[in-house]
Amino acid sequence: MSKLRVLVLVRSGHVPPESLKGVSEKDLDAWKAEFDVCDTLRGLGHEVLPLGVYDDLAPIRNALTEFQPHITFMLLEEFHGVVTYDFAIISYLELMQQPYTGCNPRGLLLSKDKALSKKILTYHRIQTPRFTVFPVGRTVHRPKRLEFPLFVKSVSEDASFGIAQASIVHNDEQLGDRVAFVHEKTLDDAIVEQYIEGREIYVGVLGNQRLQTFPPWEMDFGKMPADTARIATSQVKWNRKYQDKHGITTHEAKDLQEELGDKISKLCKRVYRALNLSGYARMDLRLNAAGEIYVLEANANPNIEYGEDFSESAEIAGVDYETLIQRILNLGLRYKAAWMTS
């Protein structure tokens, strides 16, 4: 295995130290993924330069010139605080003829736009919940085809930002209030979709042309009160005290029949290709009591910190963390960007 110079792009303030000596668990939470990736890359023998970026491209340009990396590891999820601008950073790297890890610009752009990605999936006859979009400043008129309960969220934000139990609405008054909340909190359009009662399933996908899916992972909502919706709210995903209180965990979905597992795998690959994804991604699905699979969304460049869902499901598939990080590097080096073929 050749040793590489790897530039690692992270958010400003999230540049990890080389050692965890003296670091508290609270401090570690903010940049654990960045530490895990950088530490693993060094352990693999690569030379690593982590670079914090917020709203200026100049540090990236300078690092490309001075460090001359063989590849850039993309852990930056936003630019200037805007989550949909990550595709612009990758576009810049392509303009600079720099190989990178993770998804290409088109796939990032399509997957981050929940409404557009759902339209593409619908065109390809991939089942996704019925939906509509309420732009900022427009009056809320619910289409008759959308029946309650409905799920209200931002059209572009991720990581369960702005999602709570109140995101599930049961009448037009609640719908109007929640859409207004999303507009005010995110300054973005709201997407409203049919709420699918069922199991929350996540599937990791790795590859460019040849794709590998990892075993389906499930969000186990534990002992949450019976009158609460089983959805991945901010509390469910990020609040450890809330998780411990209600016994909320994620684990391999072990009781899926082989035929259903194969169907899920093939479906996730179809979604990956339909949205022009590359590198790696995580598919969020709902499986109802009748065994019907609904694609909620595709997440390009999901969290790959050690011990999280993506890396845990990879390990179940026989891909340990060091191998996963190296394979992500290799896929970035092999991805044929337009500048390589012109």
What pLDDT does residue 187 have?
Answer: 85
| One-character DSSP codes across 261-310 | HHHHHHHHHHHHHHTT--EEEEEEEEE-TT--EEEEEEEES----TTSHH
List, in order, residues 6 or more apart from 29 with CB less than 8 Å away: none
The model's pLDDT over 297-310, given as tens digits with 9 standing for 90+, comes to: 999 999 999 999 99
What pLDDT does residue 246 have?
Answer: 85
Burial, 132: exposed, middle or buried (Cβ in 10 Å; 0-12, 13-18, 19+)? middle
Burial, 285: exposed, middle or buried (Cβ in 10 Å; 0-12, 13-18, 19+)? buried
Contact (Cβ atoms closer than 8 angstroms) between residue 201 and residue 286: yes
What pLDDT does residue 305 have?
Answer: 95
pLDDT over threshold 70, residue 311? yes
Q: At the topology level of CATH, where does 197-318 sit?
A: D-amino Acid Aminotransferase; Chain A, domain 1 (3.30.470)
State the Cα–Cα distance between residues 164 and 195, nearest whole angstrom.
Answer: 14
| Boundaries of every domain in the chain | 5-102, 130-194, 197-318
User: If residue 34 lies in a helix (H) or strand (E), which one and from where to where?
Assistant: helix 25-43
The more confidently predicted of residues 334 and 223 is 334
Mean pLDDT of 142-166: 84
Contact (Cβ atoms closer than 8 angstroms) between residue 179 and residue 162: no
pTM as predicted: 0.93
User: If residue 185 lies in a helix (H) or strand (E), which one and from where to where?
Assistant: helix 172-186
Mean pLDDT of 33-42: 97
C-alpha separations of 223 from 3, 108, 166, 226, 256 in Å: 48, 35, 19, 8, 22
Neighbouring C-beta atoms of residue 314, cutoff 10 Å: 22
State the Cα–Cα distance between residues 123 and 274, nearest whole angstrom.
Answer: 9
Q: At the topology level of CATH, where does 130-194 sit?
A: Dna Ligase; domain 1 (3.30.1490)
Mean pLDDT of 167-193: 92
The arrangement of secondary structure in 5-102, i.e. its CATH architecture, is 3-Layer(aba) Sandwich (3.40)
Q: Which of 86, 74, 96, 91 is nearest to 7 (CA)?
A: 74
Round to the nearest angstrom and report the end-to-end CA distance of the chain.
28
